[in-house]
Amino acid sequence: MKNKALKRLIYSLCVLPGFLSFFPLNSFGAITGTVGSLNLKDTVVAANGFKIKTVIIDPGHGGKPSSNVGHYSHGASGSYSSERNVTLAIAFKLQAAIEKELTGVKAVMTRTTEDDVSFERRAEIANENKGQIFISIHCNSLSDRVVHERVGTKRHKPVYRSVRVPDRSGKGVLMLVYGLHRTREEEKAIQNNQVGEETELDGGALDPNDPTTIILTNEYKRKFRQQSIKLATLINGELTDTDGRRSEGIREQGIYVLCHSAMPSVLVETGYINNPDDEKYLNSEEGQNEIVASIVRALSTYKKDMEQVSQ
């Protein structure tokens, strides 16, 4: 393996050490402290004029309703709508808005029908299309609560039974980035879809133990995580500050598509579909348009920041 990519990497780290920004996370303790954001690849490819050209849009879930009334085999459901339909509607609007508002950017969908697409295939679509940003659209939901209700008395003592009741108290948005406990899977995806293109092979397969491979993989991994948090922060800010939505902040979670997509990735929980107010908002044209506009504004800011470094 030649060391061309490693030399470019080391040079970029030496001449541009100061591109660090920090993003505090409001996450109920799932992620704490501050995280630096080093725009590594953007500095490496500065001579080529780095541009964001492809965004992957992933409408969460899909599939047919299950036999259980009010529940779906894939995704959450509200009193009259399902996650598979809401996320697809938002995703189509987001695709159109990105290609209209962000000049030169193509938006690729991982699902365009109600049919489900496997987690593996979603990640493959993202990597095959050489996506530079991965945004997964979902609807949140809370599990039923178990309560004890009195049904009578026996021998002068109260008798209770346990019943399940819907918990509709959840409200607002949530941003998710990949969990560090799945870092091995992410490293493999990066090696297959990023490092292999950055290095020149003298025949044979990519050697995961080669120093060049290890260094490039670690730098991509750090960069993608930091940029994922940056994008999540921007989207969260637009949804809360512009649209006035309640937010549960940014959390990390071991989600397959986020770990296996070799690019900055964010999962957007757009609202609680089993909350009556959120369900109404998520199904309305106004609500969907606001969500899409906020994501596009965040993407526009992110794109300008990333491309600014390469000027």
Backbone torsions φ then ψ of 158, nearest 5 degrees: -65, 145
The helix/strand/coil state of 120 is: helix
> Which amino acid appears at position 223 of this protein?
K
In a domain, 163, yes or no: no
Q: What is the dihedral of CA 65, 68, 70, 76, to 10 degrees?
A: -60
Spatial contact of 38 and 12, defined as CB atoms under 8 Å apart: no
Backbone torsions φ then ψ of 153, nearest 5 degrees: -135, 155
In a domain, 165, yes or no: no
Cα(158)–Cα(160) distance, integer angstroms: 7
| Residue 40 clears pLDDT 80, i.e. is over it | no
Please count the structural domains in the chain: 1
| Confidence band of 21 (pLDDT split at 50, 70, 90) | very low
| Residue 22 clears pLDDT 50, i.e. is over it | no
Question: Residue 143 has what DSSP assignment?
Answer: P
Work out the angle at residue 165's Cα, subtended by the Cα atoms of residues 159 and 168, and round it to the nearest 5 degrees.
145
Cα(199)–Cα(183) distance, integer angstroms: 21
Spatial contact of 297 and 101, defined as CB atoms under 8 Å apart: no
pLDDT tens-digit map of 240-251:
999 999 999 999
Task: Give the pLDDT confidence score for residue 27 in this predicted structure.
Answer: 33
Element (H, E) at 212: helix 211-237
In a domain, 153, yes or no: no
In a domain, 284, yes or no: yes
Beta-bridge partners for 147: 163
Q: 287 to each of 82, 91, 279, 294, how far by Cα in Å?
A: 16, 13, 10, 11
Name the percent of the chain lying above pLDDT 90. Answer: 50
In a domain, 197, yes or no: yes
Describe the chain by its helix, strand, coil percentages, rounded to 5: 45, 20, 35
**CATH number where 133 lies:** 3.40.630.40
Closest C-alpha among 94, 268, 89 to residue 174: 268
The helix/strand/coil state of 310 is: coil
In a domain, 191, yes or no: yes
Task: Give the pLDDT confidence score for residue 28 in this predicted structure.
Answer: 32
Task: Give the pLDDT confidence score for residue 147 in this predicted structure.
Answer: 72
| Residue 6 clears pLDDT 60, i.e. is over it | no
pLDDT tens-digit map of 53-65:
999 999 998 876 5
Cα(182)–Cα(221) distance, integer angstroms: 12
| Confidence band of 292 (pLDDT split at 50, 70, 90) | very high
In a domain, 88, yes or no: yes
In a domain, 166, yes or no: no
Task: Give the pLDDT confidence score for residue 12 in this predicted structure.
Answer: 46
Q: Containing domain of residue 203, as a range?
A: 4-142+172-309
147, HSE (Cβ side, Cα atoms, 13 Å): 8
What are the tokens at 102?
């962000």
The residue-averaged pLDDT of 175-198 equals: 62
